């Protein structure tokens, strides 16, 4: 069995038998899955065992059967399409219970290269990182339009500010997670895992880094969103909500600041006019009303921030409880791969998708 241990830095260092599980969420990917599975290396330096877990997200084209026939070690079947975020979380949970020390997440459309997996997991093997993101270097990708390159650059910059990381390609789905990171992270939104897990990782004191990778040409349009601006809108919502969840006091302070500044400016001006003897009776009533209302609104918004910060303490406590419960649950394990057909885990993993907080 795997035996990760903690080094002096608190990060995991792997000194014994180590299991790597590559998880692949798939929705109607029967055509592309054989090539993706064949591309995954089964022998990697520093790794004792490489397993492949396919999450069939309600496919109707026989994706699960193709996965079994093409060498997947385990298959998680979800009844009905629950979305990428739910498939990602189901994969993490199953991989942990299967004894994974490192989990690599890749796509079923063949965008990412299996040959890059050794470089992706190297920082985790060395005990230098908990989460590693594969940097596609979007500015060099010929199949990205100028608009998409610009949006990728702006979006990744915003995520870096919100998360406190240095990841240049924030929405890259090619990632490696240590066991500790997989236990700590939990995706609450129903759209995508990429941005939320980056913000969570830094707020939970996990070490995040990135490595350059190369990608294959697109095989089909993205099924995750309906165009660049739809993607931007949904990811922006996730950034705001996730950041507000982990930094409520800062968020409400920034919201309150404009109202407080307007109120102080107007009331300060009135005070100066009064002291200088330039204010007549009945004059500047509008400034007095607007200034007072702005100051009151700013104070109320900041008060909401204090209350949200107190609620945040409860959230952190619940996250710690969830972490410990998941760590205990992992000990129950799931079936090992058999010599014949890989076990179908739908009876264990299937269920309604988690709520959107």
Q: Quick one: pLDDT at residue 309?
A: 86
Q: Which residue has the higher pLDDT, 185 or 217?
A: 185
Kindly tell me the sign of the dihedral angle through the C-alpha atoms of 182, 185, 188, 190.
negative
Is it the case that residue 300 has pLDDT exceeding 60? Answer: yes
pLDDT of residue 9: 34
Say if CB 77 and CB 344 are below 8 A apart: yes
Nearest-CA neighbor of 1 among 138, 139, 97, 135? 97
Q: Average pLDDT of the chain?
A: 82
Residue 97 has pLDDT above 70, yes or no: yes
Q: How far is CA 311 from CA 243, 245, 277, in A?
A: 14, 9, 48
* Closest of 202, 264, 194, 187 to residue 222, by C-alpha: 194
In CATH, what number does 4-246 get? 3.90.550.10
Q: What is residue 3's predicted lDDT score, i.e. its pLDDT? A: 38
Q: Which of 160-169, 204-213, 331-340 has the lowest mean pLDDT?
A: 331-340
Mean pLDDT of the 57-73 span? 90
Residues 6+ apart with CB under 8 A from 106: 22, 23, 24, 36, 40, 112, 114, 117, 173, 174
Lowest mean pLDDT among 121-125, 221-225, 271-275, 313-317: 221-225
Q: pLDDT tens, 114-133?
A: 999 999 999 999 999 999 99
**What percent of the chain lies above the pLDDT cut of 90?**
38
Instruction: Check pLDDT > 90 for residue 356.
Output: no
Q: For 40-59, how does the pLDDT look when each residue is reduced to its tens digit (9 = 90+)?
A: 999 999 999 999 999 999 88
pLDDT band for 271, please (50, 70, 90 cuts).
Answer: confident
């Amino acid at each position: 069995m795997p035996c990760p241990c903690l080094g002096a830095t608190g990060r995991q260092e792997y000194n014994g038998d180590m299991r790597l599980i590559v998880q692949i969420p798939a929705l109607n990917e029967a055509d592309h899955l054989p090539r993706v599975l064949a591309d995954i290396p089964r022998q990697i330096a520093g790794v004792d065992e490489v397993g492949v877990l396919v999450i069939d997200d309600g496919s109707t084209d026989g994706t699960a059967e193709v996965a079994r026939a093409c060498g997947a070690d385990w298959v998680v079947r979800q009844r009905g399409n629950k979305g990428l975020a739910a498939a990602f979380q189901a994969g993490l949970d199953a991989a942990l219970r299967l004894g994974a020390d490192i989990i690599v997440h890749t796509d079923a459309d063949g965008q990412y290269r299996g040959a890059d997996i050794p470089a992706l997991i190297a920082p985790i093997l060395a005990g230098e990182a908990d989460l590693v993101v594969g940097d596609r270097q979007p500015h060099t990708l010929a199949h990205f339009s100028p608009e998409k390159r610009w949006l990728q650059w702006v979006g990744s910059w915003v995520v870096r500010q919100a998360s406190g990381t240095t990841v240049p390609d924030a929405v890259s789905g090619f990632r490696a997670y240590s066991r500790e990171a997989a236990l700590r992270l939990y995706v609450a939104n129903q759209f995508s895992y990429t941005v939320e897990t980056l913000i969570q990782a830094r707020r939970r004191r996990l070490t995040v880094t990135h490595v350059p990778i190369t990608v294959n040409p697109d095989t089909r349009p993205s099924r995750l969103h309906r165009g660049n601006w739809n993607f931007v809108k949904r990811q922006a919502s996730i950034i705001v909500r996730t950041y507000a969840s982990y930094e409520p006091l800062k968020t409400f302070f920034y919201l309150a600041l404009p109202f407080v500044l307007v109120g102080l400016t107007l009331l300060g001006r009135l005070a100066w006019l009064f002291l200088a003897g330039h204010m007549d009776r009945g004059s500047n009533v509008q400034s007095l009303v607007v200034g007072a209302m702005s100051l009151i609104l700013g104070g109320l918004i900041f008060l909401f921030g204090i209350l949200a910060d107190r609620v945040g303490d409860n959230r952190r406590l619940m996250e710690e409880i969830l972490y410990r419960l998941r760590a205990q649950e992992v000990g129950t394990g799931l079936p090992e791969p058999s010599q014949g057909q890989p076990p179908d885990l739908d009876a264990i993993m299937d269920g309604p998708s988690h709520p959107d907080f």
